[in-house]
Every structure is written in C-alpha cells, then in structure tokens.
Chains A and B, each alone.
Chain A
Amino acid sequence: MFTRRSTGLVGALALALTLSACGSSDNDADTPGKNDTRVFTADNGKVTIPAHPERVVATGYAVPTLIEAGAPLVGISSWKRGEPMMDDKELATYKKLTKVAGEQASETNYEAIAEAKPDLIVLGVPAPVLGDIDMKRLKSIAPVVAVGPMLPTQWREVSRKHADAAGVLAAYDTMKTTYETKAAELKKKYQSVLPQLKLGHVGSYGDTSKGTFQREFNGSWGTNVAQDIGANYYGKVKKPGPGSKSVSEYPSMEELGDSLGQADAITYSVNADGSVPPSVKAVLDSKLWQNLPAVKKKMTFPIAYTEAATYSDALKTLDAIDTSFAPLLAK
C-alpha cells in the first residue's frame, strides 16, 4: 500500500513538474537551445536527455566528478569515501548540496529526488548495482543516465561520460589536461628508475578476520595512477574474477612471501592523512613482511589517495606518489 501511495505521489509530482515545465516554456523560449535534447548512450541504453541540463541529480561516482566540474547540481548521494580527497571549496559544495541517496544504491530516496525537480539524473553506479534501483520510478521524474565502472581503471571513461551528460565537458577536459601534463612530467622524472622495477602493491581491502591481505596488480585502484608515470606491477591474479577481482586478489597472510617475494619494490595504500589502515598495518607488522627482500632493502613506499576516481583526485595521487618515490632518485 505504501508503494502504491508513493508511486501515486511521485506520479502526481511528475505531472506537476511536467505542467510546471510547460508553464515556464514561454519564459525560456528566448534562451537559445534550452529545450534542445540529444540521445546519450549509457549503461542503461540510449537515453534522450537535455542538451543543456540545468538541474542535475548525481549519485555514486558521478558526485565528485560533477562537483569538480561545476555541474548545475540540485541533489547528490552521500560519497564519504571521496571526502578526504575534496578541497575546501568542493567539500563545502558537497556538504551544502541536498543528499537524495545514501552510500548504497538501495538507499535512494525517490521522493527527495522528485522534490529536487531535476531535468537529468546521472547514476554513477556499476551496471550490476542498477538492480537495486527502481529505474521506472526514477525515469518518471527525469531522464536517467547510468554509467558506472566495471574495472578500476574505467574511472577515466566513466567520469568523462558523467561530465558529458551533465554538459560540463569543457571544465572536465581542463582537469584532464592538467593531470596528463603532470603525469608526463613525473614519467620523465622517474624514467631512469621506475620502469626497471618489478613492483608489488598491498591494498587496503584485506580482511584481517579472514587472515588475508590485498595484493593489487596493474590496472587496480592502488596501481593505475602510478602506471601513468611508468610504474609496472608484475604478476597477475591467480584465479581472476569479475570486475576488480581481475586485477587484485586476497591471499592468506601466510602467502605474503610467495606473493611479494619477487618484488624489487612494494607500494602500499595509506589513508589521506598518512595513517595506515588496519588491514595494511597487519601486513606491515608481520614478520613475514620483514623477511621480504624489498623490505630488507628499504624499498617500500606508501601511497595516499589510491581511491582516486576523478582527474582532480588523481592529481593528488600523483603528488603523493612523487613525494613517496622521491628517495628512489637518490639511490
């Protein structure tokens, strides 16, 4: 009964929105191209969206991208994992914006989205997560564009699509160019040392209750930005799975020596404030870690901001990598 009432309420709101839009069309007629539409290809198919959206709701990975690019946001989902990577201005914007969903897709507040009166909804969640969302209900409010990463490296393409849909591609491309310029500089800076090293990475998603640690390979969250400056993370996942499981694995702590024994140098994820996450600390505290050749040679490097999902975030990752790798040039 609640669902029916809610659906009815949303339907009424959608109708009111439509009538409201019709009523204001005369006033907007003077703005060139304001009512133009275009067809956008997303994970949920081809969607007709406004060519110049003015009221955008963003969720998931779309949140940081569209805040940074200055999109006309009227509602966002919670995005706590990205808070440490936001600068003061972005954080202020993030906190000020109305939250229309929680951290999980299942925590979407459909009535809050309807109240925000968006003309475009950008869902930044992976395709399998779309099953947790009532797409029919969302589409009754505004056109819905769903684009999410299936692999860690896909944040580049995904964030570009988010910016494109929200009509802020120019600002996005500026950030992208800044990042690529910086990455090229660092690649040149470390070209004499970095490409020759066999690197291993310990990620922060190990599960101490299972006695495991996270080993990340090329193309994972903790490694993909370092790869842009010439780093090479050797090896591959023993039993690849879907998504991020194709580029990272969770061996037992007992297998630390087997897994990272061949590494010339090891990087590991740390928090934005430099503190070591518990799952990584468990690795660093173990005697097996002390037995690793790379550790004995003091070739270990902490990397912050490994959750980067935008070019602005990744710039911070580049700075963190540069700071951490600096001693390599002195060796």
Chain B
Amino acid sequence: MTAAQRPPAGGRAAGEARRIGLLVGGLVLLAAVAVVSIGVGAHRVPPAEVVRALFDYRGTNDHVIVRDVRAPRALLAAAVGAALAVGGALIQTLARNPLAEPGILGVTAGAGFAVTVGSALGLAGGQGGQLLCAVAGSVLAALLVLAVGRRAPLRLVLTGVALTAVLGGIALGLRLMNPDVFDAYRFWSVGTLAGREQEPLTLPLAAIGVCLLAALALGRSLNVLALGESVAQTLGAGVARTQIVTLVLITVLSGAATAVAGPILFVGLIVPHLARRPAAGSAPWLMAYSMVLGPILLLAADTAARVLLPTGEMPVAIVTAFLGGPMLIWTVRRYGAGAL
C-alpha cells in the first residue's frame, strides 16, 4: 500500500461506500454472467426452460443439460476462477512481485509432473486418477518450494522457478520417450472445464471454499505485511505465521484449481491487477474483488469457449490466454507502471 493509493482521511467513508458499491456491482455482474453461462451451449434450451430446470426439475434432456451439466460447470468455473484469482493476489502480495502468479510456486509443474509419472505407472488412466495425481503433485511441489525458499520472497520465487524448470524437463523427457504417456498428458494439459463437472468435486470445491474464507480473514495481516517485514515486525505482527498461512492458502487454492481444470494461465496474473485499483491498497478488499472478478472472467471465457468456434468447443485456457494478454496490456497502459 502506498500513500498515493491510500484514500484521504476525510473521504474514508465515501471511499468505503464506493468499494461496497463496486463489490455489489461486481456481484450483480457475476450473477448475470452465470445466468448467461447456464443458458448458452451447443444444445439450445429456451430461457423459460432454463428457469424451469432450476426450480421445477422434471428430468427431461433440457433439464438434465441445465441442472446436471451447465449449472455444475458454472459453479466449477466460479470456484476455479476465484481460487486462481485469490491465489494470484496472495502470491503477488506476499512476494511483492507484480508478475508473480500461483504457478511460480511450482504448483502447475508439480501437477503436470505427477500426471506424467502417474500415466507412466498406469495410475492416472481416468480423469479421477489424473485428479488425484495432480493434487498430490501440486501439494508436494509446493511443500518442497516452501521448505527451501520460505525465508525470503526472492528465494521463494527462485526456488519455484528452478523446480518448475527441473520438473518440466523430466516430465517432457518421460513424455517424449513414451507416446502413451504423452497422449494421456495431452488431454490433462489443456486447461478446460468441459466434462470436468462430472468428476467428484466435493472435496476440491470444499477446500477452495474454506481457503477463500481464510484469505478474507487473513487480509488485515497482509495489510501489515505489505508495509515490509521490518515494519510489520515493529508493529508486532506475526510475520512468519502470516507468510506460512499465506503460502498454504496459495498452494491449496492453485493446487485444487489446477487439479480439477488443468493449467489455466493468466487468471491468477491479471485479475489481481484489475482488482488492485478499486481495492486502493486494502488487502481484504483486494481479496474480495479478486473473489468476484476471477469467477466473472472464467465464466465469461468458458461461455465464449463454447460458442466462438462453429466446429465446436475450445479449451477455456485458450480463451483466457487471448483475453489475458490484451487485458494486461490495457491495465498497464490505463494505470501506468504504478498499477503494477
């Protein structure tokens, strides 16, 4: 938080009202995007039937599509979007690095490595097996990075980058030597929500939900930590404890999101930048806005992924990549380097 970003003392109440207004506006937009997401797809379902499917379920094909395919998929998109966005906000705040994103902890590389090894050993045949391998890999990779680099943000980033390179290299070698493994990995490595809503998602979604609440609760401690470790210690904050809890949250959020949807880049990088300006230096508001903007971005991208191509659906990760690049450039140009 900088002096320039901090609102003047006299306008604090007005600033708070503005933040609440923006949050409510964001929630309304999120609801609208979710409704569109549930209403749009390869099979045309009339709007009235969409409403009936939600409130008067009869088990027809239209109702099954809305209630059992699109609604769970929209929920999954919202959860993954929120997890990646909040994970990104946490890592950028902790590392004090505007280009940090959850993958920097080696989570994505760890998941990919575990899926590759699991496929080679015959443990990751189905989507369920891949999910378990991805969870285990992301958690182990993050633990390794935390164990080596937790003493300093820079060391943490370097450890994550190094581990990502090592795991990526070994996994690539394994895939090149075994075409079947390459084939299995190919399906997982495309970040997508299609079909993933049919997987057992209770545990990952519950973990994401708990971590999102914890991230909100951690906001005030992060505010203090953002002043710098020395200042935070002077103010009596539990710096080490806050750092460890933050790292655990990042690991679980990004690990769970990557495990259920595969690697989806840019959401964790771009959303915190979009949320930072209205949050005006407040970590709790940064978390709250990220929690709303992440789902909006991923739901919109997932809806676009279903309708953009006449030949069929494309992976949502491709859409986020297309959206993320220009949005990052727009953010930099709109707010200048200071926004970052």
* A291 adjacent to chain B (CB < 8 Å): yes
**Chain B residues closer than 8 Å to A133, beta-carbon distance:** none
- Whether B59 lies near A103 (C-beta < 8 A) is no
Bound complex: CA A180 to CA B247 (Å): 67
Partner of A252, one of B42, B61, B64: B42
Distance to closest chain B CB from A271 (angstroms): 11
Contact B192 A103 (CB under 8 A): no
Proximity bits, A236-279, B CB within 8 Å = 1, else 0 = 00000000000000111111011001000000000000000010
Q: B173: CB under 8 A from chain A?
A: no
Chain A neighbourhood of B180, CB < 8 A: 80
Contact of A208 among B42, B68, B187 (CB under 8 A): B187
Whether B126 pairs with A254 at a CB distance below 8 angstroms is no
Interface-central residue, A102, A250, A251, A253, by most chain B CB under 10 Å: A253
Interface membership of B65, Cβ < 8 A: yes
Q: Is the CB of A287 within 8 A of B127?
A: no
Interface centre among B59, B180, B195 (most CB of A within 10 A): B195
A252 with B43: CB separation less than 8 A: yes
Among A80, A210, A278, contact of B125 (Cβ-Cβ < 8 Å):
A278
Chain B residues touching A, range: 20 to 34
Are A252 and B313 interface neighbours, CB within 8 A? yes
User: Which of A208, A211, A212, A255 is within 8 Å of B127, CB to CB?
Assistant: A208
Residue pair B194, A208 in contact (C-beta under 8 Å): yes
In the complex, residue of chain A having the shortest beta-carbon distance to the beta carbon of B62 = A257
Given contacts A208-B194, A209-B192, A210-B313, contact A278 B127 (CB under 8 A): yes
- Complex: chain B residue closest to A261, CB-CB: B61
Kindly state whether residue B153 has any CB partner on chain A within 8 Å: no
Encode contact with B along A200-217: 1 for CB under 8 Å, 0 otherwise. Answer: 000000011111100000
- Measured CA separation A103–B187 after assembly (Å): 19
Which B residues from 176 to 197 make CB contacts under 8 A with A?
Answer: 179-180, 187, 190, 192, 194-195
Interface of B, secondary structure class, is: loop
Is B195 in contact with A208, judged by CB distance below 8 angstroms? Answer: yes
Query: A288 near B312 (CB under 8 angstroms)?
Result: no
Q: Is the CB of A286 within 8 A of B198?
A: yes
Q: Are A209 and B198 in contact (CB under 8 A)?
A: no
Cβ–Cβ contact B312 & A254, under 8 A: no
Is B69 close to A, CB under 8 A? yes
List, in ascending order, chain A residues with CB within 8 A of B194's CB: 208-211, 253
Nearest CB in chain A to that of B193: its residue: A211
Interface size on A, residues (CB 8 A): 26
- CB-CB nearest in chain A for B180: A80
Choose among B64, B126, B262, B313 the residue that contacts A287 (Cβ–Cβ < 8 A): B64
By beta carbon, the residue of chain B nearest A252 is: B42
Report Cα–Cα, A122/B25, bound state, in Å.
68
Cβ–Cβ < 8 Å partners of B313 in chain A: 210-212, 252
Cross-chain contact A254 with B192 (CB below 8 angstroms): no
| A281 proximal to B (CB < 8 A) | yes
Which residues of A from 206 to 239 have beta carbons under 8 Å from B?
207-212
Produce 1/0 per residue, A73-117, CB < 8 A to B: 000000010000000000000000000001100000000000000
Q: Does B314 contact A (CB under 8 A)?
A: yes
A251 B61 Cβ-Cβ under 8 A: no
In the complex, residue of chain B having the shortest beta-carbon distance to the beta carbon of A210: B313
A254-B41, A255-B42 known; A209 vs B190 contact (CB < 8 Å) = yes
State whether A251 and B198 are in contact (beta carbons under 8 Å apart), knowing that A209-B190, A210-B312 are contacts in the complex: no
When distances are taken between beta carbons in the complex, the residues of chain A under 8 Å from B190 are 209
Cβ–Cβ < 8 Å partners of A212 in chain B: 312-313
Question: Hey, which chain B residues are within 8 Å of A258, CB to CB?
Answer: 43
B64 neighbours in A (Cβ, 8 Å)? 287-288, 291
Q: 7 additional contacts, CB 8 Å, given A209-B315, A210-B312, A291-B64? A: A251-B312, A278-B127, A287-B64, A287-B68, A288-B69, A291-B59, A291-B61
Residues on A lying within 8 angstroms of B by beta carbon are 80, 102-103, 207-212, 250-255, 257-258, 261, 278, 281-282, 285-288, 291
Sampled A-B contacts (15; CB under 8 Å): A103-B179, A208-B187, A210-B312, A211-B313, A252-B41, A253-B194, A254-B41, A254-B42, A278-B125, A278-B126, A285-B198, A286-B69, A288-B61, A288-B69, A291-B59
Report the 4 A-B pairs with minimum CB-CB distance, sorted nearest first.
A211-B194, A252-B42, A254-B43, A257-B61
